[in-house]
């Protein structure tokens, strides 16, 4: 699977707060947060669900992967989504290994695997 997604009983808002705190422990900062429902509403398009996209980055890891291959910048920053679906809050992301696998570089795959596990840990403890 290209993604990792979990469900939580938390509200979307609380899941975002907890996720942001847990990301800090792994030196990931939230660079930007998009409230997709609000953004679409500004364009007179209605979305009947909460959907937030967080773009996160660990500067040291970004430097490593960009130094190895600048094309990896196409996948940066990492994206996490927090949204409601059927009365449940979901937290998920595209797996860094799925994206980096497209570059076919063993060293980058090791770095992506480490980042993926750290992000999964952040997601899991944010449930």
pLDDT of residue 74: 95
Q: Give the pLDDT band (50/70/90) at residue 115.
A: very high
Q: Are 119 and 93 in contact (CB under 8 A)?
A: yes
The residues near 113 (Cβ < 8 Å, ≥ 6 apart) are 96, 97
pLDDT of residue 84: 97
Q: Give the pLDDT band (50/70/90) at residue 35.
A: very high
Please state the rounded mean pLDDT for residues 32-44: 98
Cα 73 from Cα 110, distance rounded (Å):
17
HSE at residue 61, side-chain half, CA atoms within 13 A, is 23
Mean of all residue pLDDT scores within the chain: 97
Q: Are 3 and 95 in contact (CB under 8 A)?
A: yes
3-state secondary structure of 82: strand
Q: What percent of the chain has pLDDT over 70?
A: 100
% helix / strand / coil in the chain, to the nearest 5?
A: 50, 30, 25
Sheet of 3-8: strand order equals 3-8, 88-94, 78-85, 51-57, 29-35
pLDDT of residue 44: 98
pLDDT digit string, tens, across residues 45-87: 999 999 999 999 999 999 999 999 999 999 999 999 999 999 9
The secondary structure of residue 48, as a DSSP letter, is: S
Q: What percent of the chain has pLDDT over 90?
A: 100
């Amino acid at each position: 699977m290209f993604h990792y997604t979990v469900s939580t009983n938390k509200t979307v808002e609380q899941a975002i707060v907890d996720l942001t705190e847990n990301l800090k422990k792994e030196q990931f900062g939230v660079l930007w947060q998009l409230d997709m429902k609000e953004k679409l509403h500004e364009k007179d398009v209605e979305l009947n669900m909460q959907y937030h996209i967080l773009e996160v980055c660990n500067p040291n890891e970004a430097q490593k992967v960009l130094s190895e291959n600048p094309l990896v910048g196409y996948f940066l920053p990492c994206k996490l989504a927090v949204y409601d679906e059927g009365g449940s809050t979901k937290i998920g992301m595209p797996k860094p290994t799925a994206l980096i696998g497209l570059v076919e570089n063993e060293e980058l795959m090791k770095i992506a695997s480490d980042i993926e596990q750290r992000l999964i840990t952040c997601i899991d403890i944010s449930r």
